[in-house]
Amino acid sequence: MILSILVDEYSRVVIQGITGKEGTFHAKQMLVYGTKVVAGVTPGKGGQDVGGVPVFNTVREAVEEEGVNVSCIFVPPIAAADAIVEGASEGLDVIVCITEGIPILDMVKATSFLTYRNTVLIGPNCPGIISPGKTKVGIMPGPIHKPGNIGILSRSGTLTYEVVDQLTRAGLGQSTCIGIGGDPIIGTTFIDHLKRFRDDSETKGVILIGEIGGSAEEEAADYIQREFEKPVIAFIAGRTAPPGRRMGHAGAIVSGGKGRAEDKILALESAGITVIRDLGSLGKAALETMGQA
């Protein structure tokens, strides 16, 4: 039996913002994949349903009536941080926030609120988390995933899909895939999830997809060198990006002499991590490195 971290086939999911266009579409896609989407929340629209999923006014009602323990947020940026706080207030185990463009000050307050709670926040500005063959909480395309023993951590949604597709085509399945988010302030880091993969007996190796900006990859490299014994392959996006120019993600900007791709690559390689320069060859490299893991 392939295990997973954070979410599995027993997770009971509430969609915050289910009556919006994105919330409705992706709730239905999650249901098709097999995710137990058992409730939705949109203030003022309690009593309705979306595709057979009951809608409540508050997360508290969803917890009391449907026993939800995981949330996926499709709330507009101005209210998304409040949605995070609401979910954490009700003791949800995991909150996945898809929303991008949340004001930074709002996220400062939300992450501060989470400090003394056990809720794990993934995102914002992320594709979510999937345990292939069991459940997906987010917007990733389900059919490209295959159950297996390779964990994936990424700051980029679209690159995650490319890497997953390569792995699946190479016959390598995934244990859990997590898009941690591309904003400057996110709920959980590479290191947070590397610790989970370290302790997961079914994860035999990890693919780490980073990008320019910030120091998350350098910090992950230091942690891997000290405490992570499983094989790791990394790819850093944005090697040709000019300094000072924002590239897609709010966090993907090189400034103040920090966050350069070459510095991240050097840190990773110095930690003994295989860094792939050509994304198209990652699947082959993974097969060679982790195929017998």
**How many residues can be counted in the chain?**
293
**What tokens were used for 112?**
């501060």
Q: Which of 26, 145, 193, 249 is catalytic?
A: 249
Is 193 in the active site?
A: no
Nearest-angstrom CA–CA distance, 198 and 206: 9
Nearest-angstrom CA–CA distance, 4 and 14: 20
Nearest-angstrom CA–CA distance, 139 and 141: 7
Distance of alpha carbon 33 from its chain centroid, rounded? 17
Q: Which amino acid is at 186?
A: I
DSSP class per residue in 53-118: EEEESSHHHHHHHH---EEEE---HHHHHHHHHHHHHTT-SEEEE------HHHHHHHHHHHTTS-
Residue pointed to by tokens 């003394």: 116
Strand order in the sheet with 70-73: 49-50, 53-56, 36-41, 12-16, 70-73, 94-97, 120-122
Beta partners for 95? 71, 121
Per the CB < 8 A criterion, the answer to whether 151 and 205 are in contact is: yes
Nearest-angstrom CA–CA distance, 259 and 220: 13
Active-site residues: which are they? 249
